Amino acid sequence: MPDTIIEAHGLKRYYYRGSETVKALDGVDLSIRTGEIVSILGPSGSGKTTLINLLSCLDAPTEGTLMMAGQSVAGLSEDELVEVRRGVLGFVFQQFSLLPTLTVSENVELPLMFLRRRTDARRTAEVLRMVGLSDRASHLPRELSGGQMQRVAIARALIVDPKILVADEPTGNLDKATGESIIALFKHLAADKGLAILITTHNPVFGYETDRAITLEDGRIVKEENLRKER
Ligand SMILES: Nc1ncnc2c1ncn2[C@@H]1O[C@H](COP(=O)(O)OP(=O)(O)OP(=O)(O)O)[C@@H](O)[C@H]1O
Ligand SMILES: [Mg+2]
């Protein structure tokens, strides 16, 4: 396992709309190590989601190179990108995206169905324990608080045993205390499981609790701050 799990050079993502070019990302260099939690800050429209989508292999760069877990993803086809994502990446979304008629356990197991992998009750119980929800396994999403729903979404991302966890505004729908508990959980997962974790946030309160904060403006990195305290 290489220490550097994500390496991007000169990443650009341009959108062409008629005669107009939107430079959503305009030359980003980034290197992320295993066990590191990094926040991406910046005003609305600065390119945070665009960057996260590239690092999630959900979108392809207009220009630049991107290595994920030792593999170059530039120029790969849709099918090949799916292969890179499989097992390497876990996703957490702002809206949680839980299915209302499935229990907590069933929601957590969903990615395994998409990957046509067998479910394993012990593994499901293990990831629920990791996010502190062992006592909610048979509950429905509507019986949970917002913070608990986000924990289910995190457990669902963890079930595939990813090396990289990517979260776009994971605290966006949460109050300060609940958001802080989610960041604390992410930090624990990075330190304990060696996951590389990337989160975007509007909120500097959350953004400055990670190992490193990267600030985007107009598609470029304008600030990079090392926040890691000696552990
Ligand atoms: N599909 C698209 N077509 C054209 N322009 C786009 C598209 N997606 C994003 N953009 C533009 O790219 C820029 C960056 O968008 P992005 O969604 O990455 O911003 P963001 O930092 O995530 O903002 P927010 O904080 O509001 O979520 C914006 O100017 C946006 O309008
Ligand atoms: Mg966004």
The pLDDT value recorded for residue 121 is 96
The 10s digit of each residue's pLDDT in 173-209 is 889 999 999 999 999 999 999 999 999 998 888 899 9
Q: Are 211 and 36 in contact (CB under 8 A)?
A: yes
Q: State the burial class of residue 11 (Cβ atoms within 10 Å of its Cβ: 0-12, 13-18, 19+).
A: buried
Report the alpha-carbon angle 120-123-128, nearest 5: 125
Residue 87 predicted with pLDDT over 90: no
Q: What is the mean pLDDT of the chain?
A: 92
- Ligand closest to 53 (CA) is 1
Judged on CB neighbours under 10 Å (0-12, 13-18, 19+), 214 is buried
Rounded mean pLDDT, 40-54 = 95
Q: What is the helix (H) or strand (E) element at residue 66, kind and residue range?
A: strand 63-68
Tokens 């609940």 — which residue? 178
Tens digits of residue pLDDT in 154-174: 999 999 999 999 999 999 888
pLDDT of residue 90: 92
Angstrom distances, CA of residue 207 to CA of 39, 96, 141, 163:
5, 19, 27, 21
From residue 93, alpha-carbon distances to 21, 49, 118, 200, 210 in Å are 28, 11, 24, 10, 18
CA of 1 to the centre of ligand 2 (A): 31
Residue 179 Cβ inside 6 Å of ligand 1? The answer reads no
> Has residue 75 got a pLDDT over 80?
no
Indicate the residue type of 70: G
- Assess whether the C-beta atom of 47 lies below 6 angstroms from ligand 1: yes
**b/e sequence 26-46, b meaning 16+ C-beta within 10 Å:** bebebebbbbbbbbbbbeeeb
**Consecutive H or E run containing 90:** strand 89-93
- pLDDT, position 84: 81
| Whether the CB of 49 sits within 6 Å of ligand 1 | yes
Range name among 20-29, 53-62, 137-146, 180-189 with the lowest pLDDT average: 53-62
Residue 230 above 60 pLDDT? no
**Contact by Cβ (8 Å): 217, 224:** no
- Mutate-to-test residue for ligand 1 from 49, 55, 169, highest number of ligand atoms within 8 A of CB: 49
Residues across the chain = 231
Torsion of Cα atoms, 153 then 24 then 80 then 76, to 10°: -160
Residue closest via CA to ligand 1's atom 18 equals: 47
Backbone angles phi, psi at 49, to 5 degrees: -65, -40
Average pLDDT over residues 215-222: 98
